[in-house]
Amino acid sequence: MRRGWVIDLEKCIGCRSCAVACKQHNAQPPGNWWATVETPGSKYHLTMPEQGRGYFLPVTCQHCKNAPCVKVCPVEATYKDKDGMVLVDFERCIGCRYCMSACPYGVRQFNWEDPKKTLGKLEYVENYSYGYPLNHRKEHNGVNRLVYMKTRFKGVVEKCVFCVHYYDNEGLDPACVRGCPGHARFVGDLEDPNSTVSQLIRDNEAFTLIPEKGTEPSCFYLPPSRKKKHMTEV
Amino acid sequence: MNKRRKYSLIIAFAIMLAGLFTYGYQLREGLIVTDMSNLFPWGLYVSALAFFVGNAAGGLVLSASVYMFGITKLKPFAKIGALTAFANVTAAMLIVIPDIGQPLRLWHILRYPQFSSPLAWDVFVLSAYAVLTIVYLYILMLPDLKGPGMKELSEKLAKRIAPIALVFAIGIHVVTAWIFSTQMGREWWFTAALAPDFLAVAVFVGTTVVLMASVLLYGIKDQYKEGYSILVKIITAMFFVHLFLMYNDFFIKAWYGAESATHVFNILMDSILIHIFEVLAPLLAIILLNSKVRNSVSGVVVSGVILMAGVFAHRFLIMPPAFNAIPLTIKPLGFIDTYWSYPIATGRYVEGVSTIADYWNYSPTWVEFTLLSGVIAYMYFVVALGVSILPVKKED
Ligand code: SF4
Ligand code: SF4
């Protein structure tokens, strides 16, 4: 089993619902985003670099097959799960940030201060915070790993957990997939040739981001077809 | 102990205390009190790690020269070489501690070491080297501690341990360089030239440290002049080897002219003054050291300080062109002339300021500078205290 995504850029409308759903479900404090959506070529989201020719690019942890973050971690806090998910054990991470430096996708987030404190900067009712409430532990090589917790420790690294808590506990798809109004995101087993994701990849000239870095991402993108249409119109 | 050294020790101790208190403050607030961010996850502390590791090379140069190549003129400086190496390698380990988000978990590196991580290797080689330098120093001091009868044993053991120490001494620079040069995402680091260059820099800066310490300890006397001149020759040669390795790498990348490389050079341009300084300062110091200036203690010390400042600038520049060249920089589909970096969430929430950025103008905070000063003071303290209470100086 190798869990992976397919993101159809033709269908993505740049609404950032996935980013917001991810942020809420996974309790990210202000300043911290596991999933983002940007407008390639433009400094401002939803502002096209050229009239009628833009598209949107959602990026989150690519759960790389050859993940540099896993290899550099000095304490094996970041590791690859048997289902191909790259997870961080919040109890083991020493906060050296080596993985942040090594990840070519800029998706790793550090808790520069106590997240409780950062959350306090939002004007909610006292002690309120959003997010999946329960700790999630997972066995890996005989060790119990804390791979999800609502309020993380100060000084540890975090990133997309592939919604491992929803996957293990309720068999649900990740929050970003469920939250996408355009149905642009798909999740499934990349090793199963008959899965939706595998078929989409095969039939649609799917590509990965910066393949020259050799990371072998588990996140595939389908190109927007607007360009093709543009060509036939001429 | 003379008065001047005593005062300098007190001042160094005070700076160490200031560093310690500042560390307490950083522990309470978190690393938010530094200027690092998710875009720029390593800063002054990790630069300083590379700096101190480099300084520690002096011990290697001396032990290798004396006991493997038989350059006996350098023998009087072997002990001070080992002492400065110990002070610097432990300083290197000290300065990473404040960089760690969860310092109480540092023992995890021993408990759950990850075999593939160059950082785990570095912890191993640095500790081993620290132990080796202390053992080595002890062996060299045997005749002074246990009487002249130990002279032969000391010589024999020193000769035995020198090649082992050499392996680890080279190891600390190579492995520290690998921490960076194994990262394919960072164009600035991903080059086979980095490890040899780290070694070259280490040899010339480490030798400078020994030269300064020796001159301060022994003064400029005729019987040492030849030894000093050999040290200056090593410094000069290795500086030019470093320049060659660095610019050779630049040349190859610039010649091919891939956009990714141009991107990095453009970012280096933002720090061009620091780059000019990292080249010209050591060059000036080397010109001075090769002139009459070498015949005065203050002249050598001032030149040494200028050289080390240049090397520090070099170490500082490890970071900006690496992190500000965001690896996820693409030509968006359908756009020919755009080269666009995917912005990163900074992880630092400030009201009214965007948390998404594609450039981080890193400038270390007072906390980072104070902590660094504390560790520099520690390094000085160990050396100065060492020469005061141990028989480091060879009695003539
Ligand atoms: S995208 Fe980054 S954090 Fe995610 S697996 Fe790849 S290297 Fe690791
Ligand atoms: S910050 Fe944590 S997860 Fe990342 S490399 Fe260091 S210990 Fe591993």
pLDDT tens digit sequence for B171-222: 999 999 999 999 999 999 999 999 999 999 999 999 999 999 999 999 999 9
Question: Quick check: A40 and B344 CB within 8 A?
Answer: no
What whole-number distance in Å separates Cα of residue B375 and Cα of residue B370?
Answer: 9
DSSP label of B395: P
Confidence band for B165, pLDDT divided at 50, 70 and 90: confident
**b/e B147-186 (16+ beta carbons within 10 angstroms → b):** eeebeeebeebbeebbeebbebbbbbbbbbbbbbbbbbbb
What the block records as the tokens of A145 is 């790993």
What the block records as the tokens of B223 is 């019987």
Mean pLDDT of chain A: 94
Q: What is the pLDDT of residue B198?
A: 97
Q: Which of A29, A73, A155 sits opposite B101 (nearest CB)?
A: A155
A234, with CB counted inside 10 A (0-12, 13-18, 19+), is: exposed
Q: Which CATH number is correct for A3-233, 3.30.70.20, 1.10.260.30, 3.40.640.10, 3.30.420.10?
A: 3.30.70.20
What share of chain B has pLDDT > 90, as a percent? 85
The mean pLDDT of B225-233, rounded to a whole number, is 94
pLDDT reading at B317 higher than 60: yes
Q: Does A76 touch chain B (CB under 8 A)?
A: yes
What whole-number distance in Å separates Cα of residue B203 and Cα of residue B233?
Answer: 12
**For B178-189, how does the pLDDT look when each residue is reduced to its tens digit (9 = 90+)?**
999 999 999 999
- Pair A220, A197: CB distance under 8 Å: yes
Best residue of B35, B44, B110, B117 to probe chain A, by most A CBs closer than 10 Å: B117
Residue A88: phi and psi, rounded to 5, are: -120, 130
Give CA angle at A93 (A87, A96), nearest 5°.
115
Amino acid at B188: W
List CB contacts of A233: < 8 A, sequence separation 6 or more: none
A87 lines ligand 1 (CB under 6 A): no
Give CA angle at A69 (B372, B41), nearest 5°.
30
Topology (CATH) of B3-389: Formate dehydrogenase/DMSO reductase fold (1.20.1630)
Q: Which residue of A has its CA nearest to B122?
A: A74
What the block records as the tokens of A32 is 């911290």
> Which residue's entry shows tokens 């996820």?
B328
Chain A residues 99-118 with a CB less than 8 Å from chain B: 100-106, 108-114, 118
Q: What is the pLDDT of residue A233?
A: 47
pLDDT reading at A230 higher than 60: no
Whether pTM exceeds 0.90? yes
Question: Quick check: B328 and A105 CB within 8 A?
Answer: yes
What the block records as the tokens of A39 is 């407008």
Q: What is the pLDDT of residue A212?
A: 95
For the CA of A103, the nearest ligand: 1
- Pair B169, B60: CB distance under 8 Å: yes
Q: Does B117 touch chain A (CB under 8 A)?
A: yes
- Pair B216, B349: CB distance under 8 Å: no
β-pair partners for A57: A38
Give the closest residue to B176 by CA, choosing from B28, B300, B4, B315. Answer: B315
**For A171-215, how does the pLDDT look when each residue is reduced to its tens digit (9 = 90+)?**
999 999 999 999 999 999 999 999 999 999 999 999 999 999 999
| Residue A84 zone, left/alpha/beta (φ > 0; ψ -120 to 50; rest) | left
CA distance A72 to chain B (A): 4
The mean pLDDT of A108-116, rounded to a whole number, is 96
Question: Quick check: A213 and B185 CB within 8 A?
Answer: yes
Please name the helix (run of DSSP H) or strand (run of DSSP E) that holds residue A4, with its range, or none.
strand A3-8
**For B251-308, how does the pLDDT look when each residue is reduced to its tens digit (9 = 90+)?**
999 999 999 999 999 999 999 999 999 999 999 999 999 999 999 999 999 999 999 9
Question: Quick check: B29 and A74 CB within 8 A?
Answer: no
pLDDT reading at A231 higher than 80: no
A131, with CB counted inside 10 A (0-12, 13-18, 19+), is: middle
pLDDT reading at A54 higher than 50: yes
pLDDT reading at B69 higher than 80: yes
The mean pLDDT of A65-80, rounded to a whole number, is 98
A64 lines ligand 1 (CB under 6 A): yes
Give CA angle at B225 (B223, B228), nearest 5°.
130
Q: Does B356 touch chain A (CB under 8 A)?
A: yes
The mean pLDDT of B103-119, rounded to a whole number, is 96
**b/e A65-102 (16+ beta carbons within 10 angstroms → b):** bebbbbbbbbbbbbbbbeebbbbbbbbbbbbbbbbbbb
Structure ipTM: 0.94
Domain ranges of chain A: 3-233
- Dihedral sign computed on CA atoms, order B4, B6, B9, B11: negative
Confidence band for A228, pLDDT divided at 50, 70 and 90: low
Work out the number of other CB atoms within 10 angstroms of the CB of residue B219: 10
Q: Does B183 touch chain A (CB under 8 A)?
A: yes
pLDDT reading at B7 higher than 70: yes
Q: Which of A33, A121, A214 sits opposite B184 (nearest CB)?
A: A214
- Pair B41, A97: CB distance under 8 Å: yes
pLDDT reading at A232 higher than 60: no
What whole-number distance in Å separates Cα of residue B200 and Cα of residue A83?
Answer: 45
Probe residue for ligand 1, chosen from A93, A105, A160, A213 as the CB with the greatest number of ligand atoms within 8 Å: A105
Q: What is the pLDDT of residue B355?
A: 93
The mean pLDDT of A37-55, rounded to a whole number, is 91
A12 lines ligand 2 (CB under 6 A): no
What whole-number distance in Å separates Cα of residue A226 and Cα of residue A12?
Answer: 12
Question: Quick check: B102 and A94 CB within 8 A?
Answer: yes
pLDDT reading at A229 higher than 80: no
Give B287-340 as a DSSP string: HHHTSGGGGSHHHHHHHHHHHHHHHHHHHHTTSHHHHSS-S-EE--TT-SS--E
pLDDT reading at A219 higher than 80: yes
